[in-house]
Amino acid sequence: MHVKRFKVPLYVIATILFGLKTYIVYRVLFNIELDNAMQELILFINPFISAFLVFSISVWFKKKTRQMKYLRYTALIGSFIIFANLVFYRSFTDFITVPQLFQGGNAADLGSSILNLIKPYDILLFADAAIIWWLGSKREEQMAVHYLRRSKVFALVLSLMLLAGNFFLAEMERPQLFTKAFDREYLVKNIGLFNYHIYDTIVHSKVKTQRVFADGNEIPEIKHYMEEHIRSNTKSDLFGIAKDKNIIFISAESLQSFVINNEVNGQEITPFLNELVEDEDTYYFENFYHQTEQGKTSDSEFLIENSLYPLSRGAVFFTHGQNEYNGLPELLQQADYYSAVFHANGKSFWNRDQMYDSLKYDYFYGVEAYEVTKENSVGWGLKDKPYFEQSMKYLQSLEQPFYTKFITLTNHFPFELDEKDRSIEPYDSNSNTLNNYFPTVRYMDEAIELFFEQLKQANLYDNSIIIIMGDHYGISANHNRAMSRYLEKDEITPFDHVQLQKVPFFVHIPGHGKGKVMDKIAGQIDVKPTIMHMVGLDTSNDIYFGNDLFHDDRKGFIALRNGDFISDDYIYTSSICYDRRTGEPLEQNIEDTNGETPVENACTPIAEKVETELEYSDQIIYGDLFRFIDFNDTP
C-alpha cells in the first residue's frame, strides 16, 4: 500500500529557522535586560510569531514559483534588517527608527566607524536565509504546497491570534507599552524587532501629520506649565556677568565625566581639565548629564541652543531642520552678538547647513574652511590640535562680542589615534573601544589646553567666557564588562549606567575668582537659559525647559529622553526607583494615608512631570508651534 509522504511547508521551516536565529541574536548579541520569567517567555515567542505572520503570507500565492520567490526574498530582507539593527546597536545600544533611514547620507561620512562595527561572524546571520533560498530554488517541487482556501484562512487567523496573544502578554508585563513607548528596548523585547519596526512606521506617519493639524492652541497650556514649574522671576548672582564678553563654547566629543580626576596605567587622563576643576575662575558641575538620544552630537547642539528635548526617534536636525526656532544665536543677536560654528566636517552631515540657518547662526566654518591632509587627520577627520590652530585666524577676524561653538572630532568612535600623538598608552581590557578611548581623551585634553594658550596669545582670553561640555557618552553599555573592570565594580547596574551618562561641564570666567565645584543636578537642557542670564537677556517671553544653573530656584530634576530621570533624591531607570545617594533600590510603593493601599512609588510624582515635559517638547517640534508665536512681543 502506498503511503503518502507528509510535506513540511517551506514557510513553516522558514518560521522555525528565522525565529530561532532572531531569538539567539536577542540573547547573545543584543544586550536586552530580562527581569523575570514572563519577559523571557515573551522574548522567546515573539520572533516565532513575527516570522510566522510574515512567512505565512506565502500561502496566498497560487503559483509555486511566486510562493518560493516570496519566501526566499523575505528571508533575505529580514536577515538584512537584523544585521543593520545589530551594527547600529553595537554603536548606540539602540534600534533603528524610520527617521534614521532618511539620514542614510551620513553613512558615507562614517567610514571606518561602520567597518569597526561589522564582525566576521555576522555572515552567520544569513545562514538560514541561504538554506531557505536553496530549498526554495533547488527543491521547489518538494517544498511548495497547494493550499485550500480554508488552509489559507486558518493560517491567517492563527497568525493574527498569536500576534494578539503576544500583544496581550506584552501589555500585561508592561502596561501602556504603546502609549508611553519612550524606550525602544521595551518595545523590542515585548513585541519583537519586526513588529517594533511596523509600530515605528505607524508612529512616524502619525507625527508627520501633526504639523498639518497644529494651530497653536497647545501653546497656552505649555506656557502655564513653564510658569508653574520652571520659570523663576528672580535673578542669580551671575546675571549679566557675560555682558559684552565673548562666549566660546567647546563641544567636547564623547567626553564622559568618569575620566575627570582619574587615571589609566598610573597616569592622569585629563591633566588640563583636572586643573580647571580646581581653578578659582572655573565653575565645574560634577552632576551634569547629557540628554541626547539618537541624534547624539546634533542632539546636544539642539539642547543647548533651544532648551528643548531632542526627539525619541531620529535626529531633530534631520527631521525638523526647517522648523521655526527661538534659538540662542537668534536671541544673542538682541545683544549684538555675532555667531559662528567651527566644525571640520561637511555642512550636510546631520543637516547642519539647514539647521544652522533655522537657528540664525551668522556663519558656519565647515570642512572647506580647513586644510585637511592625510598627515593632520585621523578617524573622522582633522585632528583637534590643528583644528583649533587653524580656527584661530577666523576667530580673530570676527566682530566682537561673538558667540562661537567649536565641535571637536578626534575623540570619536572608533577612537583612532596615531602612535606619535599618544601621550598615554591604551587600557588593557577585552574592549578595544574602551582601551583606545583613553589616549584620544588625553589628546583632546591637550588640544583644549593649547587652545587656551592660543586665546591668550591672540588677546581674546581675558574678554571671553569659555564653556566646555561633553556632548554625549563615548562608551556604550555594550562595553559594560570592560567598564566594570576599569571602575573596579562587580558589574554595571542600571543605576551605574545612568551615572555614566554624566558629562563634564565647565564655565570658565577669567579673572572671576569665585569659581567652585557645583554638585547640583544639571543637564544640557539648562545651558541656554544659563547663557542668556549670564549675558543679561530677558527670558520672560521665551519657552524653554531648563533652568539657570547659577540659580537656586530650580525644578530639581533632569529628564533623560527615554523617560528616566535624575533628581536631587532619586534616580529612576529600568522601572526602578533608586536612592541617588546610596544607589539602593527603594520600596516599589508607598502607602496611602490610611496605611492600606499602595498608590505610587517615590519616583512617581517626578516621573509624571518628566512625561509632561517630554510630551510638551515633542508637541513644539512635531507641530512646529513656534511659527505661531511672535517672540518679539512683550509678555
Residues annotated as part of the active site: 297
Q: Which region holds residue 563: left if phi is over 0, alpha if psi is between -120 and 50, else beta?
A: left
Peptide bond into 414 cis (omega under 30): yes
Question: Using the 8-state DSSP alphabet, how is residue 585 labeled?
Answer: B
Q: Give yes or no for a contact between 125 and 87, defined as CB atoms under 8 angstroms apart.
A: no
- Name which of 82, 47, 39, 287 is nearest 169 in CA terms: 39
CA-wise closest residue to 100 among 298, 251, 252 = 298
Question: DSSP assignment of 287-310, as one string?
Answer: TEE----TTTHHHHHHHHHH--PP
For 426, the grid coordinates are 591604551
Q: What is the DSSP letter of 148?
A: P
Give the 3-state secondary structure of 30-99: CCCCCCCHHHHHHHHHHHHHHHHHHHHHHHHCCCHHHHHHHHHHHHHHHHHHHHHHHHHHHHHCCCCCHH
Instruction: Retrieve residue 440's grid coordinates.
Output: 584620544
Distance (Å, whole) CA 89 – CA 96:
8
The CA distance from 237 to 245, in Å, is: 17
Q: Are 335 and 535 in contact (CB under 8 A)?
A: yes
E-strand ranges in 215-270 read: 246-252, 263-264, 267-268
Helix axes 384-397, 432-457, angle to 10 degrees: 30
Q: H or E segment at 508?
A: strand 505-508
